[in-house]
């Protein structure tokens, strides 16, 4: 009975994988990013754009930024590329510990929209590679709390960012990405899932 269950499970997984692969298959001459594509991403960022206190004489730590990104193909064939629009939600925290044990921390939350331009000039040679650049506009919410000076405050203000990046699709649905720019982190690395 265990053998039959294992065989049925293996056959079911094979059929499911074939169906998912067929649904996500792109033609050999298709661009890596085009109208109608919906790409979700999650990434970690380092080199925070928000730094505090120049001295490292006390305990100082910057947690990696966590970013959730969405990009949807909007317009094809605009010059040598395609246009996308989407958004990003990100979180980052910096902690500072004074010599006497008191602490200060800054928590940043970012919510914004992004416009992207994806180059398609390489699609004939490699439609797995998706280089892009873009701009973002959003709101940054920063909370500060300092137990040494008994201070805390909350600020919200608009912020803009520019970035360049690239995705590489290992399968028609799964990619890895890297971005360099100015928003919540200077460098972001992560993974993407495309839904057609």
CATH assignment at residue 94: 2.40.160.20
Q: Classify residue 136: in a domain, yes or no.
A: yes
Q: Classify residue 79: in a domain, yes or no.
A: yes
Calpha distance 135→113 (Å, rounded): 9
Q: Give the range of the structural domain holding residue 183, as residue numbers without chain letter.
A: 29-195
Q: Classify residue 153: in a domain, yes or no.
A: yes
Cβ burial of 135 (10 Å; 0-12, 13-18, 19+) is middle
Three-state SS for 56?
Answer: coil
Question: What is the reported pLDDT for 72?
Answer: 98
Question: What is the reported pLDDT for 52?
Answer: 55
**Residue 3: pLDDT band by 50, 70, 90 thresholds?**
low
Reported pTM = 0.78
Task: Count the domains in the chain.
Answer: 1
Query: Could you tell me the CA-to-CA distances from 187 to 45, 96, 122, 170 in Å, in that order?
Result: 5, 22, 24, 21
Structure tokens at 21: 């692969």
**Residue 29: pLDDT band by 50, 70, 90 thresholds?**
low
Where do the DSSP E strands lie in 98-170? Answer: 103-119, 129-146, 151-169
Query: Could you tell me the CA-to-CA distances from 193 to 12, 18, 39, 111, 122 in Å, in that order?
Result: 22, 17, 6, 20, 21
Beta bridge partners of 76: none
Percent of the chain predicted with pLDDT > 90: 62
Query: Could you tell me the CA-to-CA distances from 160 to 97, 126, 138 in Å, in that order?
Result: 30, 32, 6
Three-state SS for 10?
Answer: helix
Higher pLDDT, 161 or 127: 161
Q: Classify residue 145: in a domain, yes or no.
A: yes
Q: Classify residue 11: in a domain, yes or no.
A: no
Question: What is the reported pLDDT for 97?
Answer: 87
Name the maximum alpha-carbon separation found in the chain.
Answer: 69
Question: What is the reported pLDDT for 55?
Answer: 54
Higher pLDDT, 90 or 97: 90
Question: What is the reported pLDDT for 184?
Answer: 83
Cα-Cα end-to-end distance for the chain: 39
Query: Could you tell me the CA-to-CA distances from 103 to 65, 108, 128, 146, 161 in Å, in that order?
Result: 20, 17, 47, 6, 30
Structure tokens at 138: 């959003």
Res 12 pLDDT > 90: no
Mean pLDDT (the chain) is 84
Percent of the chain predicted with pLDDT > 70: 79
Calpha distance 170→115 (Å, rounded): 24
Q: Classify residue 121: in a domain, yes or no.
A: yes
Q: Classify residue 171: in a domain, yes or no.
A: yes
Residue owning tokens 């990104």: 69
Q: Classify residue 14: in a domain, yes or no.
A: no
């Amino acid at each position: 009975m265990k053998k039959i269950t294992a065989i049925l499970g293996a056959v079911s997984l094979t059929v499911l994988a074939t169906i998912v692969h067929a649904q996500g298959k792109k033609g050999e001459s298709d661009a890596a990013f085009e109208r109608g594509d919906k790409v979700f991403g999650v990434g970690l960022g380092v080199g925070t754009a928000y730094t505090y206190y120049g001295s490292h004489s006390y305990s100082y730590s910057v947690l990696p930024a966590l970013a959730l990104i969405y990009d949807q193909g909007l317009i094809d064939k605009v010059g040598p590329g395609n246009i996308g629009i989407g958004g990003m939600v990100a979180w980052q925290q910096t902690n500072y510990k004074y010599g006497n044990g008191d602490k200060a921390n800054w928590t940043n939350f970012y919510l914004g929209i992004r416009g992207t331009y994806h180059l398609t000039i390489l699609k004939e040679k490699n439609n797995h590679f998706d280089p892009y650049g873009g701009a973002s506009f959003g709101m940054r919410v920063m909370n500060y709390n300092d137990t040494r000076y008994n201070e805390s405050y909350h600020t919200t203000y608009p912020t803009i960012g520019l970035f360049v990046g690239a995705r590489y699709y290992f399968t028609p649905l799964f990619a890895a990405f890297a971005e360099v720019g100015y928003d919540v982190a200077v460098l972001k690395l992560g993974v993407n899932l495309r839904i057609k």
